[in-house]
Structure 1
Amino acid sequence: MLCTHLIRQKRDAGELTKDQWEFLIRGFCDGSVSPAQMAAMAMAICIRGLNSRETVDLTATMLASGTRLPRVTDRPRVDKHSTGGLGDKVSLVLAPLLAAVGCDVPMISGRGLGRTGGTLDKLEAIEGFETSLSIDQSSDVLRRVGAFIIGADESIAPADRKLYALRDVTATVESVGLITASILSKKLAASLDALTMDVKVGRGGFMPDVEQARELAGRLVEVAAGSHLPTNAILSDMNQPLGEAIGNAIEVNEAIQILRGGTCNERVARVRDLTIRLAAQSLIAVDLAGGLEEAQQMLTRALDQGDAMERFERMITAQHGRLPTSGILSLESRREWGAPVAGWVSRIDCEAIGDAIILAGGGRRRGGETLNHRVGIELMVQIGQRVEQGQPIIALHDDKNAMTPDPTTWVTIEEAPKPMAHLIVEVI
């Protein structure tokens, strides 16, 4: 086989066989297929797509490029994965929360893709936190704490590790087939009993409309089932950032606020509510709860009684992180803007907000860039909310004033109210 022939075949809407995927992925891992060639193939896939059989074959090939995590306890082993969205810090809360109610959560996460932040980037805002652990080290953390959040070890789906970084900087993130293979190659390697998917719908994620999100969710459930991993999917609203904080350290701070329990404002409550719903699906899937109401009650108690926060602190320590005494990470200096007019918030420009974080150094324009974790945005309004002229709506944490001279343009305010979309769009 020749790689150029395979690129041409996919460019012209052809189907690749399992042997051809194995040749391509093996070559990318050993260097005989260059990053430029794989970038061309990724673009061809993004434009032409993959059918179900190709997605199954690509997923299996990427999984086979590495090893699987061992089982180290007899506790149910679960995980959740999000397709990525602006301000999505659910994983930071969900992993310790599920550990607090009797699950093992071996979470293999990624870095930012495009405008969406990565869980690993957020956790690395914590001083000393190590996202690169060996299989033996991560297994020890799981045994002692019940949860870890790490990047894929070099021995776990190494093909995805390389391809993930390439997609981030070549505008090939949105392909349903590539997203499916990337997610499931890592999740299958984690030896899970059940997986819950959070598929984001809207301008702040990769799937802008419900039909695309359904397609991705259906493909994920289908391919996972074919690989003997019980999986369910929730479609959740991403037409505005999730929560109030967008950035790295600032999102950790919001996650800690939720983990500490108690009341929170309506914007932060959306993060808490979605986390509980996703975690509840996992508890039901492994028979730790008899239904949605019982599961949500268990999880709410674990948050309000401090059990989840205690697990979070143990996880941070086990992965060599050090939280400040206050528990709050420091940010760049803060500037605040008020609403230019009175009215109702009808739209939030997620694309502009995501681009602003990247321009300020909180996200990557090319692979390997060092991030400024202290950069962040506070969005103090949500769609459907009434605001008065001068009311604070946005605050920036930006040391170089690189984001924009007028961030209020990110929020559209109209005279008539617009209803907010439901947080849970659909369950599959």
Structure 2
Amino acid sequence: MVNPMKEIEEFIIKNDSRFYIYNLEMLKNQVSIALVIKCGSMREKEDQRGFSHLLEHMNISFDKYFYNGKIKCLGYTDYFYTYYLFCTDKSYLPECMERVNEIISGIYITDEIMKKIKPDVIEEYYKIIMDESNNEYRYLLEGTEYSKHLAIGDINVIKECQYSELVKFYKKYYISGNIDIIFMGNREFVEEYVPQNCKQSRPRELICRQKYCIRDFEWKKLGNKKIVKIYYLKRCSNKDKRELLYDGIFLSLIKKVIYDVYGEENIEVGKIVLSNLEEFIYIDAKKMLLRNFSEVKKFLENIVFIVDENYIISFISEYKMSYFNMLSGGYGINTVHEMRQCINSLIFDGEIIGSRELINIMQQGFEDLEISKIADMVSKLINNDESFFLYKIIEQ
């Protein structure tokens, strides 16, 4: 039996395959299962680009040909992993677990299915490539290994892919040591799927150890309009869990000051995670019509000037209250969002952090919060260093 006192239980179920039970009784009869395979586009050689994504489509082909409207099924391929997510209620849990086991066994990796699915993947490729909204992302990653390993792959490789080569790729990466299964819901529903006498697991080894983006600032002109987007590259270290609090405060603080001064309707602030080592922080100022570097510099300097120690102290008081109100109001009910958070934590941090543990981390973090550390993070908007620097300004 699973220990009912723990929020998240981790088990080694077969060789080095892992099974995680995330107990969220608040979901009542809802359950979610994610099969996570450490097989992403960064593992692909030049003549394999798109193999991970093609395998993903083949493995969820059952959802196209044997559709069950009671089960929401999603597949996704990233640089470092592929996941298959099932959201349903407990009545359909056996069917979901059967699908998970079928994917692991390779039952959908056949020549017939590959031929049926290839046109879908090719159509998706052209749809993404022709979508101008994706140009910015491609230009952002230009000159890095990320740009060479986009999950969508290479159209010529996809078209010419031979079944025998795809099988070799599948057998190399769809192995027990690369497999994790995450269950989210009431643990009573899933205990029967955990083998008897399985070992408690240890944190996963992180799979990304290399930084791919170089410090080489560029103002990228993609058109004649004066629409500017500002990207910073944030280099991450192996974080103390309390760093999650500082990262959250920093991003929320930047959003607040920019929205208060310039209006939320005129600007957007967000984050794009590339790996456990690199992520982008961006400021979308397209409606502000910043026309040159001097105007951009003045804009950034004004943000840093406003955010003094008193501003930070006042903001933290509001942030703390709103944060715990959000958590107490049902953190984790959005199962798709919460499961994606779990997958990212598992891949990029080597472990899953549950909502109760996160609350404890945040409570302790608020008690020990260093105002000077937050001020230093904000100052890097104009005083770049190796851990946080202006990466690209994109003009369209």
Asked whether the two chains share a fold, i.e. TM above 0.5, the reply is no
Normalising TM by the smaller chain, what interval? under 0.3
Instruction: Please identify which structure carries the higher strand content.
Output: 2
Bigger Rg, which one: 2
TM-score by length of structure 1 reads 0.25
Greater RCO (CA < 8 Å, at least 6 residues apart)? 2
TM-score by length of structure 2 reads 0.26
